[in-house]
Chain A
């Protein structure tokens, strides 16, 4: 009987069977997974919803005002005492209700747009003041090149100042017809300004620099300088003719553009004439079928991914930021991979293991824990000012005092991040090197290979997947970093991409845009933070997707290497 009891107690002893540990470890995993999944889901939901066209609400309030806008959000707020007193007189019912709710009421934030007419983009409307809400079917949402969106009604479609359509349907058809052509003209103007005028400006600048170079070399009195002055003057005259011709073309197109306008009216009745060419996108928000809504959604995504930002980054696209992020990450990887691998090779293969080496290892590992802004400060002080300044004074004296390399730029930002991530690569490469079986090294030595031949032909290929793992981690860390970039080359709006058609085609000295900084700038630094908020999520979503994409491609390469070099032993 006693043995029976013993058995019983043994079978129910959870601790002995380790059951609680299964739950503890499993629970830990669940918590971690849920946090990550929750984060991703939150960003995904908010990020994907941004571009979906919302209906336009027309709201009339007790004081006789009219508002038209998208509902941004609704929140509970405490009604100020003065407002409540005023309300007692006009509508005692509402006041009593608020008093019953302890002075709390609800208000909605309307995105009313029309910044040029109202002076702001958003309006708070207290719900207890609302007397009437409707969704007018002919209300339009017009996204403009400047001044943000216009929310209101199209009164006339004008050609040369005369109305050409009367009924809403006719106006809509006419607008759609004119809009496509107007946008094509607008793009043509932009192309002329950016590419052709840009090329002329570029050459003028080159001429100036050339002259300055000769001046620095030979002095102002010398014959070559006089020649250069003459030839520059000649060339400038030629360019001026070219420029004037371009100007004329551009003006012609602009004049043509000015013929086509819309007469818009906001909900209060004020009117505004708007050039059709400066309307990016327009839709009657309350009269859209699901298909048309989806069309608007896709067109906004397309613009977001392929166009330049406008309106202080709160609208338009983020192509320069995508480009800058990818480019910086790639340059960083190209620098960090060889450096990390070489350092790890020396540490693991050549250096004599001992106290000094342990100290170096600890130092390298600690480097990974240094706050990133410290790296940023170092990058600014060392790369930009010391190295860049020296490069400028040696290679680009003609451009001084405006710095070329002596300021933040793509190269310095990439190098700073490479420095930041090199410990990751070193550590994982060292581990990968240590994991190469000694039987393989011996096999190679026994064939008469030298140490370097063994490393290059046997050890390194075999360790390559591990190196790639380190590089993946480094890329993930580097691409998401913002703080050190802010002071080593990222700007909120870069006038030019780091790659263009002017020699030497890749301009490492240029400052660039970065998605991580873009998020910070749009959400917290822009004039219109409220309008930027949805863009924060969308840009975050894009940044996550971009890093995932970079990592996936690195993982794909790693798996291929693994298959090739590690294989299935037995």
Chain B
């Protein structure tokens, strides 16, 4: 089974240990090189906290279960601060091919909820394998040019 960023955002996080709701998922943070979700951002603005992927015990369709409340931590370093602020969010970000042509904004990201691996980027009506993902930053997501890019 695959899950999608557009469906996962807003999902509640629940502590497996206490059954308490911990907040709602606002961003998924991705390691582009490994094409892997590394952490989740919970809440927004200055109150945003981070949960590392290895503290997620079950990424389910109705709730994201995390081991316990101690899994929530403050964002550390520039990269996580930027991620917590939503600056690195893939959804809605402009896509550039490595040839320097815009392909449109990222409309969805399909991922494996078991392992957190990225599977497909949806860019407009085009689907691009996650293996084509070259980089992502505050300005753009960069993908290897699909065969029909630029036409």
Partners in one complex: no
Chain B positions within 8 Å of A, measured between CB atoms, are none
